Amino acid sequence: MSRALWVFGFTVSSLLGSIAWAAPLAYEGFDYPNDSSATAGLTGGFGWAPEGWIDTDNDFAKLSSDDVSLGSTAFPFPPVGDRIISLGGGAGGEGARILAAPLLDATTNGVFYASFLIRKESDGGTSSDNVEVDFGSGFGAAAQTIRFGSTSGDELFLRFGATNGGAGAFPLGETLFGVLRVTTSDTLNDVVEVNVYGASDTVPTIEPATWALSAASDQSLVFDSVRVAFGNNASGAFDELRIGATWEDVAVSESTFILGDFNMADGVTPADYRILSDNLFTGTTYEQGSIDFNGFVDLTDFAIFREIYLNAGFTINGPPAPEPAAGLMLLAGCVCAVLAPRRLILH
């Protein structure tokens, strides 16, 4: 075995050994039989306490019971099942669900993420026309510690305790994919941040550095519940709730990550080669070419990317280089086949 093949094989083996495929901590896709529109007591999905959805006053919006899920071209997952709908005209209400285990104590250092599909169909007037999803503790007032959605005035709103962080219009008649991050601290204010993606947006497979909406508040509760609420005059829908420990858990489909696709567009292309070349010895992130996720872009990254790039049918311009051995090409092909349809989360 050539030294080049051994080095490449060792690098790839190390990379594979450090990869873990992620899954949400909790998921609710509202995939239920079409025998009832009632939501109280529904226990589908996973990661939840056994009592299911709680609707103590029997006024929560109903299950669609038509096997039609909310969808959006921005949504990175295949939608399943039904959706929660509110038709307005006094048909609003709220329901809550407790997680199987507490998410986070706000008095400690930690983070959790959530994503969901949310839609407001039309303007239902200037009062009781809110559509929102809340995160907090239990079923009472603390369940509304974090609130996100549309106001009765059709504006995006984000509230964390008494702090407002919303801005901009909530587009009517469009399904939005929302991703939320909650970061808690034992010494500083806790922070909630939200990004919202419409039909023309692309959801990044790597967590973004900036968030569209944010609010800070000093909290002491334990996050363990989700609440979905519609004002009595609101016409809208809610679907595909995910809660996890990372961005990838809630915003990245396993089929969307392609190793070497640094710009997250159209697979591995010459544009990705230029990204790696431009950042060789200076880059520090995967988006800059660190294909082994070790925090710097070097010749190891170039060697791994080169085999993926050549196997994609491209050639590398520049000084002639010896063609890789057949075994090296085969190994690179196996890596592409194994990793291309999946997403990576390194521990």
Bridge partners for 86 per DSSP: 236
User: What's the whole-model pTM score?
Assistant: 0.72
Q: Are strands 156-160 and 163-164 parallel, antiparallel or unpaired?
A: antiparallel
What's the pLDDT tens digit per position in 132-141? Answer: 999 999 988 9
What's the pLDDT tens digit per position in 311-342? Answer: 888 887 643 333 444 344 444 454 444 444 44
Q: Given this model, what pLDDT does residue 318 score?
A: 45
Phi, psi of 197 (to 5 degrees): -120, 125
User: What is the SS3 assignment for the chain?
Assistant: CCHHHHHHHHHHHHHHHCEECCCCCEEECCCCCCCCCCCCCCCCCECECCCCCECCCCCCCEECCCCCCCCCCCCCCCCCCCCEEEECCCCCEEEEEEECCCCEECCCCEEEEEEEEEEEEECCCCCCCCEEEEEECCCCHHHHCEEEEECCCCEEEEEECCEECCCCECCCCCEEEEEEEEEECCCCCEEEEEEEECCCCCCCCCCCCCCCEEEEECCCCEECEEEEEECCCCEEEEEEEEEECCHHHHHCCCCCCCCCCCCCCCCCCHHHHHHHHHHCCCCCCHHHCCCCCCCCCCHHHHHHHHHHHHHCCCCCCCCCCCCCCHHHHHHHHHHHHHHCCCCCEEC
Q: Given this model, what pLDDT does residue 22 score?
A: 55
- Please give the CATH topology (third level) of the domain spanning 26-251: Jelly Rolls (2.60.120)
Q: Given this model, what pLDDT does residue 321 score?
A: 37
| Interatomic CA distance for residues 223 and 296, integer angstroms | 36
Q: How far is CA 38 from CA 33, 164, 167, 204, 225, in A?
A: 11, 33, 34, 36, 20
Domain boundaries, the chain: 3-20+256-346, 26-251
Q: Given this model, what pLDDT does residue 292 score?
A: 79
Q: Given this model, what pLDDT does residue 233 score?
A: 93
Question: Which stretches of the chain score pLDDT less than 70?
Answer: 1-22, 255-257, 317-347
